[in-house]
Amino acid sequence: MSCTSDTHCITCSDEGVSMRVIELLGDGIACCAGADGAPAEVMVDLVGPVEPGDTLLVHAGGCSPNRGRGAAAAMKYVDEYRDAELGRVLAGEIVAIVEPGREYKIMEVCGGHTHTIYKYGVDDLLPANVELVHGPGCPVCVIPMGRVDDAISVAHIPGVIFTCFGDMMRVPGGSGTLLEAKARGADVRMVYSPLDALRIARENPDREVVFFAVGFETTAPSTALTLKRAKAEGTPNFSCFSNHVTIVPPLRALLESPDLRLDGFVGPGHVSTVVGARPFEFIPADYGKPVVISGFEPLDLLQSVYMVLRQLVEGRCEVENQYARVVPADGNPAALAVLEEVFELRPHFEWRGLGFISHSGLKLSAAYAELDAELRFEIPGVRVADPKACQCGEVLKGVIKPWECKVFGTACTPERPIGTCMVSSEGACAAYYNYGRFAREREVV
Amino acid sequence: MCLAIPGQLLEFVDEANRLARVDVAGVVRNVNVGLLDVDGESARAGDWVLIHVGFALSKVDEEEAMATLRMLQGMGADYEAELEELKASVIE
């Protein structure tokens, strides 16, 4: 049979359409037919094995061969979505709703979202004029090097058992990592939960047990409840080195940043479970930009991007909640109450790549001062400039993409990270390195 | 560390400290469910919850729990690492 499309090359068009495989033509090309029955040649070499009868989402947002291949690669992931057909429909609706010639820049704030986007090729399902920018929502990535050095300094104090989450062990400070400190003799232990750190304190009454607390409002209530229990039961050898941060101040800083133009936000899921939707209302109110709080499945992200685009196209801006099945509008009152009791805002806190941001960090409140490691131990308060070659700051601000960093994938890899964004699996660089186009293009080569 | 994993609450083991046994993909460990104490209501045996660093963050229905679990399993190594960390956890 003849397989030609007399109107246009389907892989170069800007459409996202559902097509059925009719015949395999070899060399990674298949003859496919859309709803109108018209045949077209489609590159399928990255979709994995396809057979006549399979349904593919054929979408490409540009004419470069790589883009076409990227789009084909994304198709196979659609079948892994909770509702593959809805995924196809949404991708098609996104293509249909955007205005040609208008550029859309949407920031996904949460590192978990970044992970899903690369893992499931969500960005490859979007038209070329819709760009997802990765924001500063990975808690490990935003820790400045000086705080890691401070942590290492505490870990080396004789008698201290220093506890932290697994991700933090590999984050480089100016003088190495906690993992290296452990190799040099410091008693550094990885814990799953701050409550594990508290148990270690109970089991070692003659040792000082310090918990290295990091994370946004998702994680801070867990530290707060742990401190509350430590205080109530009287575990005097337990203390907390707090590096907790809050999500709103960095977003405001980004919106004030002159070198970044954003059109809207995909808001964080788990953070919003705690804080609710209200804290994000300043974004439409003060900056006229839409926010859609999103779940973590690829379909959630696709739908949230569609909702942001729909607001933009309709000239609206408000906070919408795509993840209402988990995120209550008012957040979690029990979590907010314990945060209020145990923590207070620092006047300012340093963020990796973003500098000092006012009222963005949490320290222990006066009522919990006795459990504050920063008061119990001498903390050097190290300030370390980021390595010159490392561009984590620009990645965190969304000014450059991970692969545009000079050391991405060469000097800086997940095995030997220079910057924080390459450490955590939620970091934009690690997510892109593991799942992104870079890996796919290498496969092609 | 940023993952929230679904688990099913089996029973309370320490009411005062809000600790309950949960089953997370076959791994049974203690977690704190105190953040779900809202308006006189609290989590109960049989409830599905999303767990983050040893604390139940929110209640979800079974369908949502299953869908989240499928997605996490699809993540491969990162999910496996999180489960290994959970296995090493002894909250009491």
* Average pLDDT along chain A: 85
Residue A341 to residue A394: CA distance in whole angstroms: 35
Residue B11 falls inside a structural domain: yes
Q: Is the model's pLDDT at A130 over the cut of 70?
A: yes
- Residue-wise pLDDT tens digits, A327-352: 999 999 999 999 999 999 999 999 98
Q: Is the model's pLDDT at A6 over the cut of 80?
A: no
- Pick the range with the lowest mean pLDDT from A14-18, A102-106, A297-301, B81-85: A14-18
Chain B, residues 27-86, CB within 8 A of chain A, namely 31-32, 34-39, 50, 52-55, 57-58, 60-61, 64, 67-68, 70-71, 74-75, 77-78, 81, 85-86
- Residue-wise pLDDT tens digits, A210-246: 999 999 999 999 999 999 999 999 999 999 999 999 9
- pTM equals 0.82
Residue A34 to residue A20: CA distance in whole angstroms: 6
For chain B, say whether A165 makes contact (Cβ under 8 Å). yes
Chain A, residues 93-112, CB within 8 A of chain B, namely 110-112
Q: In the structure encoding, which two tokens stand for residue A287, read together?
A: 């900056």
Q: How many Cβ contacts (< 8 angstroms) between chains A and B?
A: 118
Residue B37 to residue A335: CA distance in whole angstroms: 9
Task: For tokens 């070499």, name the residue.
Answer: A45
Q: ∠ CA A235-A372-A188 to the nearest 5 degrees?
A: 75
Q: Is the model's pLDDT at A174 over the cut of 50?
A: yes
CB B89 to CB A219 under 8 A?
no
Nearest CA in chain B to A222: B55
Q: What is the pLDDT of residue B21?
A: 98
CA nearest to A402, candidates A411, A392, A413, A416: A392
Here the CATH number for the domain that contains residue B44 is: 2.30.30.140
CB B55 to CB A140 under 8 A?
no
Residue B48 falls inside a structural domain: yes
When CB atoms are compared, the residue of B2, B53, B68 closest to A194 is B53
When CB atoms are compared, the residue of B39, B50, B53 closest to A222 is B53
Domains of chain A: 10-79 (2.30.30.140), 102-445 (3.40.50.11740)
Q: Is the model's pLDDT at A186 over the cut of 90?
A: yes
Task: For tokens 């923590």, name the residue.
Answer: A343
Amino acid (one-letter) located at A369: A
Q: Is the ipTM of this complex over 0.90?
A: yes
Our count of domains for chain B comes to: 1
DSSP A49-107: S--TT-EEEEE-SSS-HHHHHHHHHHHHHHTTSTTHHHHHHHHHHHHHHSPTT--EEEE
Exposure string (b/e) for A9-35, b if CB count within 10 Å is 16 or more?
ebbebbbbbbbebbeeeeebbbbbbbe
When CB atoms are compared, the residue of A191, A273, A333 closest to B57 is A273
Residue B73 falls inside a structural domain: yes
Q: Is the model's pLDDT at A85 over the cut of 90?
A: no
CB B58 to CB A273 under 8 A?
yes
Q: Is the model's pLDDT at A366 over the cut of 90?
A: yes
Q: Is the model's pLDDT at A401 over the cut of 50?
A: yes
Q: What is the pLDDT of residue A388?
A: 80
Average pLDDT over residues A145-169: 96
Residue B33 falls inside a structural domain: yes
- With cut-offs at 50, 70 and 90, classify the pLDDT of residue A443: very low
CB B35 to CB A270 under 8 A?
no
Q: What is the DSSP letter of A339?
A: H
CB B71 to CB A333 under 8 A?
no
- Pick the range with the lowest mean pLDDT from A9-13, A86-90, B19-23: A9-13
Q: In the structure encoding, which two tokens stand for residue A400, read together?
A: 């450059």
Q: For residue B76, give its domain range.
A: 5-87
Q: What is the pLDDT of residue A63?
A: 26
How close does chain A come to B85, measured CA to CA in Å? 5
Evaluate whether A146 touches A350 at the Cβ level (below 8 Å).
yes
Residue A95 to residue A79: CA distance in whole angstroms: 19
Q: What is the pLDDT of residue A7?
A: 36
Which residue did the predictor score with more confidence, A86 or A209? A209
- Pick the range with the lowest mean pLDDT from A17-21, A158-162, A320-324: A17-21
Evaluate whether A189 touches A161 at the Cβ level (below 8 Å).
yes
- Residue-wise pLDDT tens digits, A31-81: 777 666 667 777 665 555 677 776 666 644 222 223 333 344 445 556 666
Evaluate whether A116 touches A302 at the Cβ level (below 8 Å).
no
Q: What is the DSSP letter of A387?
A: P
Residue B45 to residue B10: CA distance in whole angstroms: 5
CB B38 to CB A270 under 8 A?
no
Amino acid (one-letter) located at A431: A
For chain B, say whether A192 makes contact (Cβ under 8 Å). yes
Residue B92 falls inside a structural domain: no
Q: Where are the beta strands (DSSP E) in B15-69?
A: 19-24, 27-32, 48-52, 55-60
Q: ∠ CA B73-A77-A10 to the nearest 5 degrees?
A: 175
Q: What is the pLDDT of residue A259?
A: 76
Beta bridge partners of B48: B8, B60
Nearest CA in chain B to A139: B2
CB B54 to CB A195 under 8 A?
yes
Residue B78 falls inside a structural domain: yes
